[in-house]
Chain A
Amino acid sequence: MKKIWLAFAGLIAALSIGLSFSNSNPVSAADDGTFKVGMECGYAPFNWTQSTNAHGAVQIQGTKQWANGYDVQTAKIIAKKLGKKLVVVKTKWDGLLPSLTSGKIDAIIAGMSPTPDRRKSIDFTDPYYVSQLTVVTKKNSKFAKAKSINDFKGAKITAQLSTYHYDAIKQMKGVLRQPAMDDFPAMRVALESGTIDGYVSEIPEGITAQNANPDLTMVHFAKGQGFQTSASDTNLSIGVRKGYSETNKINNILGTMTKADRSKRMDDAVANQPSTAAKGNWFINILKQYGGMLATGTGMTLLISLVGTIVGFIIGLLVGIIRTIPAPKSTGKRGLLGFGKWLLSVYIEVFRGTPMIVQAAVLYYGAAQALGINMDRTVAALVIVSINTGAYISEIIRGGIISVDPGQFEAASALGMTHWQTMTKVILPQAVRNSLPAVTNEFIVNIKDTSVLSIISVSELFFTSETIAGQNFQFFHTYLVVCLIYLVLTFTISRLFRIIEKHLDGPKDYNVMTNQMQVETPKPKN
Chain B
Amino acid sequence: MTETILEVQNLQKTFGQHEVLRDINLTVTKGEVLTIIGRSGSGKSTLLRGLNLLEAPTSGKILFHGKDIQDDSFDLAQYRAKVGMVFQNFNLFNNLTVLDNIMVPQMSVLKRSQADAKEHAIAILKQMNMDPFINAKPAQLSGGQKQRVAIARSVAMDPEVLLFDEPTSALDPEMVDDVLSAMTALAKTGLTMIVVTHEMQFARDISDTVLFMNEGIVAEEGTPEQIFGNPQEEVTRDFLKRYLKRD
Instruction: Give the interface of A toward B (CB within 8 A).
Output: 329-330, 404-405, 407-408, 410-418, 421, 425-426, 429-430, 433, 506, 510, 512-513, 515-520, 522, 525
Contact = CB atoms under 8 A, between A and B. Distances in A.
Contacts of B37: none
B93 interface: yes
Contacts of A417: 77, 105, 108-109
A408 B93 contact: yes
Interface in B143-167: 150, 153-154, 157
Given A415-B105, A418-B77, A519-B122, A512 B136 contact: yes
A522 B132 contact: yes
Contact of B140 (A407, A512, A522): A512
Nearest to A506: B137
Given A416-B105, A425-B93, 7 more contacts: A407-B91, A410-B54, A414-B87, A417-B105, A517-B99, A517-B135, A518-B132
A329 B99 CA distance: 34
A410 B79 contact: no
Contacts of B200: none
B79 A519 contact: no
Nearest to A518: B132
Contacts of A520: 131
A135 to B, nearest CB: 67
Interface string B100-143: 00001100110000000000001000100101111111001100
A514 to B, nearest CB: 8
Nearest to B178: A525
A330 B108 contact: no
Contacts of B109: 415-417, 421
Contacts of A404: 94
Contacts of A525: 129
A404 B133 CA distance: 23
Contacts of B91: 405, 407-408, 410-411
28 contacts: A407-B89, A407-B90, A408-B91, A408-B93, A410-B87, A413-B80, A414-B85, A415-B80, A415-B85, A416-B76, A416-B78, A417-B108, A418-B77, A418-B108, A421-B108, A425-B104, A512-B135, A512-B140, A513-B132, A515-B132, A515-B135, A517-B99, A518-B132, A519-B122, A519-B126, A519-B134, A522-B132, A525-B129
B134 A517 contact: yes
Nearest to B76: A416
Contacts of A516: 135
B189 interface: no
Enumerate the 4 nearest inter-chain pairs by beta-carbon distance, A residue then B residue, closest first: A522-B132, A411-B91, A416-B81, A512-B136
B136 A433 contact: no
B86 to A, nearest CB: 9
Nearest to A411: B91
A418 B78 CA distance: 10
A416 B52 CA distance: 10
B85 A510 contact: no
B72 A330 contact: yes
A101 B96 CA distance: 57
Interface of B: 52, 54, 72, 76-81, 84-85, 87, 89-96, 99, 104-105, 108-109, 122, 126, 129, 131-137, 140-141, 150, 153-154, 157
B131 A519 contact: yes
A304 B98 CA distance: 40
Contacts of A426: 93, 95-96, 104
Contacts of A421: 108-109
Given A417-B108, A519-B122, A433 B95 contact: yes
Nearest to B83: A414
B154 A510 contact: no
Nearest to A517: B134
A515 B134 contact: yes
A421 B109 CA distance: 9
Nearest to B122: A519
Contacts of B89: 407
A327 to B, nearest CB: 10
B133 A512 contact: yes
A509 to B, nearest CB: 11
A237 B54 CA distance: 74
A464 to B, nearest CB: 42
B223 to A, nearest CB: 29
Contacts of B90: 407
A186 B111 CA distance: 65
B136 A510 contact: yes
Contacts of A519: 122, 126, 131, 134
A329 B76 CA distance: 12
Nearest to A514: B135
Given A415-B154, A421-B108, A510-B140, A430 B129 contact: no
Contacts of A330: 72
Nearest to A406: B91
Contacts of B153: 415
Contact of B81 (A407, A415, A429, A430): A415
A499 B131 CA distance: 31
A522 B54 CA distance: 38
A407 B96 contact: no
Nearest to A510: B140
A430 B95 contact: yes
Nearest to A504: B95
B232 to A, nearest CB: 34
Contacts of A506: 137
A522 to B, nearest CB: 4
A425 B93 CA distance: 9
A121 B94 CA distance: 62
A522 B133 CA distance: 9
A72 B64 CA distance: 83
Q: Residue among B77, B91, B99, B131 with the most chain A CB within 10 A?
A: B91
A412 B72 contact: no
Contact of A411 (B79, B93, B137): B93
A405 B87 CA distance: 13
A416 B129 CA distance: 26
A513 B130 CA distance: 11
A167 B132 CA distance: 83
